[in-house]
């Protein structure tokens, strides 16, 4: 059976609803959206410490669809299996090196899409930025796309790892300047040093400061 087709109407309807929720409940603020190119391939990379991070990160691009790489365990019920493919999610099996998912993401980027991912691979248990996974460095290096770093604040306080409920918090996102493909290649001391590419991206994310009122 073929993968369900992406539905722009469903994506933008869902995005508007999520935006309303995040503005009303968490007073979300985003700075630096002008750093995201309006067209062409882009990797959007951010820190990860909460289930709220994907919907929050989807809000930083007001004019482009954001495709996410996310663990395939999210397809745990019939609604999720119906919904996520139609809003562009790329399912990733974290229990093994999922080359098929990486190839899908690279193909999507080469087609001019914006793909969002979390280089740490899983949620931080304490809200602090952790080391990136090497597989993400492979994707970044092979795609040839610029990487826009973003740092999310407040989602750990709102819903930390292990929490089953939402808490009141202030959520914000700082979007940094794009890392060029040339910078990515220069950061790799030798061919195949994908961990170095991933480490560069994480360092740019960590360097981003909080959004000030």
* Residue for token pair 């935006």: 19
Parallel/antiparallel/unpaired status of strands 147-153 and 42-46: parallel
Q: Measuring CA to CA, which residue among 89, 39, 55 is closest to residue 159?
A: 55
Q: Give SS3 for 84.
A: helix
Q: Is 76 a catalytic residue?
A: no
CA distances to 67, 68, 106, 145 from 113, in Å = 8, 11, 9, 10
Residue in 30, 32, 48, 59 annotated catalytic? 48
Rounded to an integer, what distance in angstroms lies between the CA atom of residue 18 and that of residue 121?
23
Instruction: Provide the terminal-to-terminal Cα distance of the chain, rounded to the nearest Å.
Output: 50
Rounded to an integer, what distance in angstroms lies between the CA atom of residue 91 and that of residue 181?
25
User: CB neighbours (10 Å) of residue 144?
Assistant: 13
Catalytic residues: 48
């Amino acid at each position: 059976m073929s993968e369900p087709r992406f539905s722009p109407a469903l994506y933008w309807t869902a995005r508007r609803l999520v935006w309303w929720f995040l503005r009303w409940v968490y007073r979300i603020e985003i700075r630096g959206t002008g750093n995201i190119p309006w067209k062409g391939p882009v990797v959007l990379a951010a820190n990860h410490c909460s289930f709220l991070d994907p919907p929050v990160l989807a809000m930083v691009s007001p004019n482009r669809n954001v495709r996410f790489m996310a663990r395939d365990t999210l397809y745990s019920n019939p609604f999720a299996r119906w919904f996520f493919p139609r809003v562009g999610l790329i399912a990733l099996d974290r229990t093994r090196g999922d080359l098929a998912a990486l190839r899908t993401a690279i193909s999507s980027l080469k087609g001019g899409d914006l793909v969002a991912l979390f280089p740490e691979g899983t949620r931080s248990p304490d809200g602090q930025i952790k080391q990136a996974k090497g597989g993400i460095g492979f994707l970044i290096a092979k795609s040839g796309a610029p990487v826009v770093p973003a740092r999310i604040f407040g989602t750990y306080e709102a819903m930390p790892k292990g929490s089953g409920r939402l808490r009141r918090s202030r959520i914000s996102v700082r979007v940094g300047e794009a890392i060029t493909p040339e910078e990515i290649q220069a950061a790799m001391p030798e061919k195949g040093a994908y961990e170095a590419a991933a480490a560069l991206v994480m360092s740019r994310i960590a360097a981003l400061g909080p959004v000030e009122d």
